Structure 1
Amino acid sequence: MVAFRIPDAPRSIQKDQPLKFLLDREAVDCLAHNIALVHPAFDAQTFKQLALTNIVPLGIMDRAAHIAAALRATLPNKFADAIEILLNTLTPPNAHTERLGLSVFFYLPHTRFVADYGRDASHNHGEDPFETAMRAQYALTRRFTAEFSIRPFLIHDFERTLHQLTQWVTDPDPHVRRLCSEGCRPRLPWGARIPQLIVDPTPVLPILEALKNDPSLYVRRSVANHLGDIAKDHPALAFAVCERWLTDADIHLKWVIRHAVRHPAKRAHATAIALRKAAGAR
C-alpha cells in the first residue's frame, strides 16, 4: 500500500500557534514525498526549495498560493496532467464532518492550485480545463474544502459553475453538499466576495431550498450562515425566505432560521426578533 503522509496538526486553533504554521517545512516535505511516490520524475528538491524560499513572512492563504506556484513550476506543464498527479496523492475521503482537526489544511495548496491554474485554457495546452477543475474540487472538498477555490470559478464563469453546484446538491457526501451552499456564500470569511451574488442572491436560493432540510447539521449550518450573509445586504429577502420556511418547519429547520437571523436580531431588528421567536427562540 502506498504510504502517503500528511503533517501532524493540533485538533483546534492554538493561541500561540498561528494557522500559517500548518503550511511549513513539514507540509512541504509531505507533499514532495507524496508526489514522488506517484510521479517518479518529480524534482522534489527543486520543489521544496521553491516552496520554502521566502515563505516565512507569509500568512496561511499566501503560503498556499506560494506552494501552488512551486507546484506549477515542477509538475507537468499541462494542468490536466498536473492535477491528475495531485489527485493520485490524496488520502481517503473524510468519513466524518466534525472534529476533523487542522491537518486537513494540508490540502489548501492543492485547492489553490486548482483555483489559480484550472480556469485558463492557456494552462491546459489550449483545452478548456473546466471539467477537470470541477472533478478536482469534488475530490478535494471531500478531504478538506473547496469553498475557497470554487469562488474564482463563480466570479469568472458563473453560469457553468452554478450549474455544477446545483448538480451536487443531491450527492451522498455531506462535504460535497455543504460545498454547494458554502462555496457560493456572498461574503464567506477568508474567501473572495462574489459581487454578482452580493447584488442579486436570488440565483442561489434554489440551492438553499434544496439543502434547508439536509440530514447533516454540517450542511444545515452552512445554509443558515449563507442566509445570514444574504441578510446583510438584502434583509427583506432573507426574512421572506425564513417566513416561508417557518410553515411546517421541524426543530432542525427552526434552528436554521434562528441561526440565519441572529445578527440582525442582535441589532434589535424587529422582524428578525419576531422570526427567532416564531422559530422557538427564548
Structure 2
Amino acid sequence: MSSEYGLKRHFNGEAARLIGDRIRAVDPGFDVEGYAAEVEARIPGKELKDRVLVLAEGLRTRLPAGYPDALPILLSVLGDELAEGEGMFNASWYLMPVARFVEQYGLDHPEASLDAIEEITKRHTGEYAIRPYLEQHYAPTMERVARWALSPSHNVRRLATEGVRPRLPWARTLTVFVKDPLPVLEVLEPLRSDSSEYVRKSVANNLNDIAKDHPDVALATALRWLEESPTPETQWIVKHGLRTLVKKGDQQALALLGATGGEHVRVDRLRITPGSVTIGDTLLIGFDIENTDDRPHSIAVDYVVHHVRKNGRTIPKVFKLTTFELGAGEKRSLEKAHAIKEVQTRRYYPGEHSIDIQVNGLVQATERFGLRT
C-alpha cells in the first residue's frame, strides 16, 4: 500500500465501517451505516487526499459538536503503538482520516491537538497533520517538536524529523524551512546517530530535502556530523542524505562519501540492446569499467536516461546502478536491465533517447536507443 494509487482505493465505505465500529464501542449512538453510505456516495472520482477528507468530514458531522468533546472519542480507536518495522500504511492505514480530522478541525485548540498528534503518530503518522500547526502556531509547535526529538518512542522521534521536512511528498511545502533550514537542522541534531532505522531514514530524507535548496549547508552539516559522531548510523544517514547531490555529480558530496578518482576510471564498450524498443520492452545496458590508476578507488556508478518530452526536448533521470571498490588496474563488466514502462510520474514519447554512464559524478560514455510508439 505504499503508492498513492494503491492506498486510495482502501478509503471507501468499508474503511468508514472499520472506523465507525471502533467508535461505536465507546459511543453506542454513532451511526456507522449512515457514515459508510455517505462516504461511498462521495468518493467516486476522488484521489487519495480528497477521499481521506471525505472520511474526516463524515466524522465531524457525527461526533459531538465541540472539538474538545469529539477528540477523546476519536482517539479511543487508536490501538497499540507500532513496533519498529511495522508500517504505518499497512497495520494502521485506516487512521489516516483520524489524523486528517485533527489537521482540519483542531487549529483553534493547538495544545490538545498537538497532544493528539503525538498519540496518533505512535500508531500511524502525524507528519501531515502537524504542518498547518507549524504555519499558524509556529513557536509552540516547534517547542513541542524539540521535545519529540528526545522522546523514548521511535515513532515520536520520527515525527519530529518527518513533520518538519521542507519538501515532504504528498504534503504542502514548508516555505519557511525552504528559505531557512537552520531550525530543521536543530531538530535533526540529536537524531544524527539514532538507534532506530525508521528515524534514520527520516533524518536522511530531511537532509536530502535541504540539499536540494541549500547544498552548501547540507554538505557542511554532513561533514560536521561525520567528524563529531563517526558511527555507522551517522555514515548511513549522510550517504542517503546526500543522494541527490551524488546523482548530480557533486564532487564535494562524492569526496565526502569516499568516491573520488572518477577521472581515473574508463568506460569502454557501452552496449544498449535492442537499439529500438516500444513501451513494455526491456533494455539491456552493458559496459566494461576499468581503473587506470595505480591505487584503488571507491566507485559509484549511475546511469542517466535522457527521456524525450512531447516538445522534442529531453529531460534526464538518474538511476542508481552500483557502488564497489575497484582495485588498481582492475577491470569489470557490468550489466543492467532497464524496463521501459510508464509510471505515474513519467510519460514516454517516441524519438531518440540517450543513456549516459556516470562514474563518481563524471559522464564517461553515452549511447542512444530509439523508442517507437
* Other structure's SS at 1:215 match: coil
What is the alpha-carbon root mean square deviation over aligned residues? Answer: 2.0
Q: Distance in 2 between matches of 1:183 and 1:278?
A: 32
Q: Distance in 2 between matches of 1:178 and 1:14?
A: 20
On the 8 A contact 2:165/2:209 being kept in 1, the answer is yes
Q: Unaligned stretches of 5+ in structure 1? A: 1-11, 121-128
Task: For residue 155 of structure 1, report the CA deviation from its aligned partner.
Answer: 1.6
TM-score by length of structure 1 reads 0.87
Aligned to 2:97: 109
The amino acid of 1:175's aligned partner reads N
Q: Distance in 2 between matches of 1:14 and 1:83?
A: 29
* Other structure's SS at 2:155 match: helix
Q: Distance in 1 between matches of 2:131 and 2:165?
A: 9
Q: Unaligned stretches of 5+ in structure 2? A: 261-297, 299-322, 325-373
The amino acid of 1:87's aligned partner reads L
Aligned to 2:192: 212
The amino acid of 1:237's aligned partner reads V
The amino acid of 1:195's aligned partner reads T
Task: For residue 100 of structure 1, report the CA deviation from its aligned partner.
Answer: 6.0
Name the structure where helix makes up a greater proportion of residues: 1
Q: How does 1:1-282 map to 2 (within 5 A)?
A: 12-13=1-2, 18-98=6-86, 102-120=90-108, 129-247=109-227, 248-277=229-258, 282=324
Q: Distance in 1 between matches of 2:75 and 2:122?
A: 12
* Other structure's SS at 1:18 match: helix
On the 8 A contact 1:212/1:253 being kept in 2, the answer is yes
The amino acid of 1:224's aligned partner reads A
On the 8 A contact 2:17/2:35 being kept in 1, the answer is no
On the 8 A contact 2:16/2:32 being kept in 1, the answer is no
Name the structure where strand makes up a greater proportion of residues: 2
The amino acid of 2:20's aligned partner reads A
Which is greater in Rg?
A: 2
1:20 to 1:208, Cα distance in 2 relative to 1, 3 A: same
Q: Distance in 1 between matches of 2:88 and 2:6?
A: 18
Deviations 1:201-236 (A, max 9, x none): 111211111111111111011111101000000111
The amino acid of 2:66's aligned partner reads K
- Highest RCO, 1 vs 2 (Cα 8 Å, sep ≥ 6): 1
1:61 to 1:48, Cα distance in 2 relative to 1, 3 A: same
On the 8 A contact 1:27/1:106 being kept in 2, the answer is yes
How many equivalent residue pairs? 262
TM-score by length of structure 2 reads 0.67
On the 8 A contact 1:178/1:218 being kept in 2, the answer is yes
Aligned to 1:6: none
Q: Which moved more, 1:184-193 or 1:270-279?
A: 270-279
